[in-house]
Amino acid sequence: MTTAEIIEYVSGLGGVLTLSPVEGSEWPEISWGDTFFYYAPDGVVPTTGQPFATIVTKDYPDDRTSRLDRPDTFRVNIAAGRDAFTEWTGRGPAAVDASVIDTVIAHPVYGAAGWLAVVNPGERTDATVRALLRTAYDRARTRLERRNR
């Protein structure tokens, strides 16, 4: 599974704003090269809340355990929620090797908030990643629809 395949899948869900900051853009330098997915059918980046999924291509200052500094390494992060988190990990947040490839893990920083992650999703996790992305998308859509009532 490539970053392009993930972007194509998530962007095709409908109402998704895909933000991919590039060098020199208005977005902070740390975000350049990464991708952020928002449920935003109006096409405007929400001023409240977080994306429902991201693709990160490098280590962040407070998040180096996935070792994204390795060549051709990225991590997809998914706000799957506590129920899906427990279903896929079989437990609450716990310390794991966050650099393992093609394995669903608790997000190394946001696991306690129900975020899951996969470094370089591949054949083993392709279907799971798609299902989790759909779950996160559905949760984000439901949240916005509830707020707009």
Look at residue 94 in the predicted model and tell me its pLDDT: 58
**H or E element in which residue 73 lies:** none
State how far the Cα of 116 lies from the Cα of 80, in Å rounded to an integer: 7
Residue-level pLDDT at 92: 58
This prediction's pTM: 0.93
Angle between helices 82-89 and 126-147 (to 10 degrees): 170
pLDDT, averaged in runs of 10, over the chain (149 residues):
97 96 94 97 90 97 94 97 86 74 92 93 97 97 88
- Per-residue confidence (pLDDT) for residue 89, from 0 to 100: 82
